Amino acid sequence: MRLGLVAVPVAFFAVFFAYPVAAIVARGLKVDGVWQFGRLADVLGESDIRHVLWFTTWQALASTALTLLIALPGAYVFARFDFPGKQVLRAVVTVPFVLPTVVVGTAFLALVGRGGLLDEWWGVRLDTTVWAILLAHVFFNYAVVVRTVGGLWSQLDPRQEEAARMLGASRLTAWRTVTLPALAPAVASAALMVFLFTFTSFGVVQILGGPTFSTLEVEIYRQTSEIFDLSTAAVLTIIQFLAVGAILAVHAWTVRRRESALRLVDASVTARRPRGAGQWALLAGVLAVIAVLLLLPLAVLVQRSLDAPDFGYYRALTSDDGGVFLVAPIEAIGNSLQYAVVATLIAVLIGGLAAAALTRRDAGRFVRGFDALLMLPLGVSAVTVGFGFLIALDEPPLDLRSTWILVPLAQALVGVPFVVRTMLPVLRAVDQRLREAAAVLGASPWRVWREVDLPMVRRALLIAAGFAFAVSLGEFGATVFIARPDNPTLPVAVAKLLGRAGDLNYGQAMALSTILMIVCAVALLVLERLRTDRTGEF
């Protein structure tokens, strides 16, 4: 039975992930049917490429450091302080994380770009500097740190620190010797995650980087769609694949360390009202950062989209005279929703089966290896997935180029890790003996799943579905490779509009981004209501 559970996801990953990746490797390193591993060195030898590689790495490092610096006080505030509106604010902080990268890029463009808010007020433009990219990355990843570090922090038993203080440690020493070591793996894990996301950043850099700044992802896309050098693109993908594999391995290691025996308590008992001027000032500071860094860009985005009289930009979306697409931009909404629904169904099915298989306590090495495999598409980056689809699934034996299912399949691939990560902790928390109790009372294995597991994971299943939906709705990196011009998705349409000159195109991009943001935010707020004490990793 377990074999059956594993077979479907394994087959899915073999066909839609392993096969495309293999195709990329072959395309990059095989010249006239002969393996040429020297190609790696050749490509790395080009100074342009080395420049891209260097920029990719240092901007990821800088983004990670900046995110930690700004978000760690936030993690502390959310973990230890109780204040009115905390629940809502926690949801608000998470909104950027599920926002499409294209929207994030657009929002920062509206804030710090040409004709942006800062330009208007003080004549300051940051879109030609790396700061726009770094700030957008902080915006995007603030929630990652608050959730992973703050989540653990709020569950650390404060009595551990009290025990240290009773043994003579000062307040600071107690924190340094008890809390900090407990938090360190979570901080490391969050930092790695942020590094991974920023290392493979595509949409943000594509929009804010201009001609100056280019990450590996953007370069792969450029080589494919502008220079048509698929072979170099493939080599770059392989390089990225190796780098990401290494980062993921380190991440898996820190996650395992994080699972080591910590005394965790219910988060609701550890938070209390801030006391004293210092704590109130900290709270106020964190709130101010959230307002300026997280809320302001989104507000500016909405404001810019309304800049034309009578919702002019929104009305312009309904006509196709812009000539950017073969259809009116507004149709992208319908496309996106349809794709997202199908992608969600696939992701929940595949991810659910995989999570069920991984739950088994007697899971062997094979199954655990499968766990790591499932995480790969998340880290390996959407561009790899899209590029792989482009070159692998467009010819026999598997020619899906002309079918609409290609886009949802790619989006589902990106969504599956989210589904697994959300379901797994909940499924693992179901006591095996509850299942045994049901079996002894006469329930067959299928009935056991329906009567015991399903009622407990129903909520997690909905949350997972919501995540998969938001992810596929905002998915850009993979979709941009394979979406057909007559069927663009929202993010693709936004990027296309931004790529063209003229106020009308710019305004329409803002309007479409606003629509996309609202759909994603609504999906997330619904999720936040469903979310209970047991949270997944995201």
Q: Which is nearer to other proteins, 124 or 454 (CB)?
A: 454
Cβ 305 to other proteins shortest distance, Å:
45
167 vs 440 by CB, closer to other proteins: 440
- Closest distance of CB 454 from other proteins, Å: 10
Give the number of other CB atoms < 10 A from CB of residue 120.
9
Binding mask 45-74 for other proteins (x = CB under 8 A): ------------------------------
Exposure on the CB side of residue 311, measured as CA atoms within 13 A: 7
User: Among 97, 86, 74, which residue's Cα sits nearest to residue 524?
Assistant: 97
Rounded to a whole number of angstroms, the minimum distance from the CB of residue 462 to other proteins is 15
Pick one of 19, 451, 525, 526: the residue that binds other proteins (CB under 8 A). Answer: 451
Q: By C-alpha distance, which of 137, 138, 132, 140 is closest to 114?
A: 132
Name the minimum Å distance from CB 269 to other proteins: 17
C-alpha distances (whole Å) from 325 to each of 331, 332, 483, 497 are: 10, 10, 12, 9
CB of 427 to other proteins, least distance (A): 15
Residue with Cβ nearer other proteins (328 or 456): 456
**Is 364 one of the binding residues for other proteins (CB under 8 A)?**
no
d(CA 102, CA 492): 8
What's the closest the beta carbon of residue 442 comes to other proteins, in angstroms?
4
User: Does 367 participate in binding other proteins (rule CB under 8 A)?
Assistant: no
**In the window 466-495, what residues touch other proteins (CB under 8 A)?**
none
Least Å distance, CB 12 to other proteins, is 30
Nearest to residue 114, comparing CAs of 103, 101, 127? Answer: 127
Amino acid, res. 354: A
- Distance separating alpha carbons of residues 151 and 163, to the nearest angstrom: 22
Comparing CB distances to other proteins, the nearer of 292 and 441 is 441
The closest of 374, 375, 425 to 531, measured between CA atoms, is 425
Part of the chain binding other proteins (CB under 8 A), chosen from 1-9, 246-254, 451-459, 472-480: 451-459
Beta bridge partners of 395: 398
Cβ closest to other proteins, residue 257 vs residue 450: 450
If we measure between CA atoms, which residue out of 467, 451, 452, 361 comes closest to residue 147?
467
Shorter beta-carbon distance to other proteins: residue 82 or 431:
431
Q: How many CB atoms lie within 10 A of CB 490?
A: 31
Asked whether the beta carbons of 372 and 359 are under 8 A apart, the reply is no
C-beta of residue 494 within 8 angstroms of C-beta of residue 102: yes
Cβ closer to other proteins: 184 or 430?
430
What is the smallest separation between the CB atom of 317 and other proteins, expressed in angstroms?
A: 46
- Report CA torsion sign: 136, 139, 144, 146: positive
Interaction mask 421-450, other proteins, x per CB under 8 A: ----------x-xx-xxxxxxxxxx-xx--
Site size for other proteins, by CB under 8 A? 19
We find the least distance from the C-beta atom of residue 528 to other proteins, in angstroms, to be 22
Listed in sequence order, the residues at least 6 apart from 86 whose beta carbon sits closer than 8 Å to its beta carbon are: 78, 271
Number of residues written out for the chain? 538
Binds other proteins by CB under 8 A, chosen from 61, 306, 456, 526: 456
Q: CB of 433: closest distance to other proteins in angstroms?
A: 5
Q: Which of 285/445 has CB closer to other proteins?
A: 445
What is the per-residue binding string for other proteins in 302-321, x denoting contact by CB under 8 A? --------------------
Report the residue number, 399 or 431, with the smaller CB distance to other proteins: 431
Torsion over CA: 76, 77, 82, 88 (sign): negative
Closest contact distance (angstroms) between CB of 363 and other proteins is 16
> Between 42 and 436, whose beta carbon lies closer to other proteins?
436
CB 147 within 8 A of CB 527: no
Residue 446 Cβ vs other proteins, minimum distance, rounded to whole Å: 10
**Among the listed residues 45, 115, 455, 499, the single contact to other proteins using CB under 8 A:** 455
Choose, by CB under 8 A, the member of 103, 355, 452, 515 that binds other proteins. 452
User: H-helix or E-strand containing 394?
Assistant: strand 394-395
One-character DSSP codes across 74-117 = HHHHHHHB--TTHHHHHHHHHHHHHS-HHHHHHHHHHHHSTTSH
> Does 250 help bind other proteins (rule: CB under 8 A)?
no
| Contact partners, residue 514, CB within 8 Å, separation at least 6 | 301, 302, 305
- The answer to the question of residue 167 lying near other proteins (CB under 8 A) is no
Nearest distance in Å: CB 431, other proteins = 7
4 lies in the site for other proteins, by CB under 8 A: no
Residue 271 makes contact with other proteins by CB under 8 A: no
Residue 18 tokens read as: 């392993």
> Looking at beta carbons only, is 334 or 455 nearer to other proteins?
455
Residues 490, 515: contact at Cβ < 8 Å? yes
Peptide bond into 397 cis (omega under 30): yes
Between 315 and 534, whose beta carbon lies closer to other proteins?
534
Q: Which residues make up the interface to other proteins (CB under 8 A)?
A: 431, 433-434, 436-445, 447-448, 451-452, 455-456
